[in-house]
Amino acid sequence: MYKKTLLLVALFSVVILNAQEKQTAGNTVGDTGLVTFTYQGNNVTYKTVRAADGNEWLQQNLGSSQVATSIGDELSFGDYFQYGRWDDGHQLKDSETTDVYPTPNNPLGLGNGSPLFYVGGGTPWSANYEGWFANPMQNDDWSAKSLSEVTEHNGMDPCKAIGNDWEMPSEMDWDNVMQKELIFPKPDNVTRGIDRGFKSNLKIAGAGSRKDLGWSFVGARAYIWTKTASKNPNFYRYVYLGAATSSTTGFGGDAKSFGYSVRCVNKTATLNTNDLIKDTQKVEAALNQNELKIVSSVKIKQVKVFNLNGQIVLTSNQNLINISHLKPAVYLVSVETVNGKETNMKIMKK
What is the model's pLDDT at position 9? 33
What is the model's pLDDT at position 275? 54
Contact 228, 172 (CB under 8 A): yes
Contact 91, 85 (CB under 8 A): yes
3-state secondary structure of 9: helix
Angstrom distance (rounded) from CA 55 to CA 195:
22
- Can the peptide bond before residue 104 be classed as cis, meaning omega within 30 degrees of 0? yes
Angstrom distance (rounded) from CA 146 to CA 127:
32
Angstrom distance (rounded) from CA 146 to CA 158:
9
User: Which amino acid is located at 3 in the chain?
Assistant: K
pLDDT in tens, the chain (350 residues): 433 333 333 333 333 333 335 798 988 999 999 999 999 999 999 999 999 999 999 999 999 999 999 999 999 999 999 999 999 999 999 999 999 999 999 999 999 999 999 999 988 887 788 999 999 888 999 999 999 999 999 999 999 999 999 999 999 999 999 999 989 887 766 788 999 999 999 999 999 999 999 999 999 999 999 999 988 888 999 999 998 887 767 899 999 999 999 999 999 966 655 555 445 567 888 877 788 888 887 888 899 888 877 788 999 998 889 998 988 888 888 888 887 777 877 788 88
Domain ranges of the chain: 31-266, 283-349
Q: What is the end-to-end Cα distance of the chain in Å, rounded?
A: 74
Provide the whole-model pTM: 0.75
Angstrom distance (rounded) from CA 141 to CA 169:
12
Closest CA to 335 of 315, 350, 349: 315
Torsion angles phi and psi, residue 149, rounded to 5? -95, -5
What is the model's pLDDT at position 330? 82
CATH topology of domain 283-349: Immunoglobulin-like (2.60.40)
Angstrom distance (rounded) from CA 225 to CA 236:
8
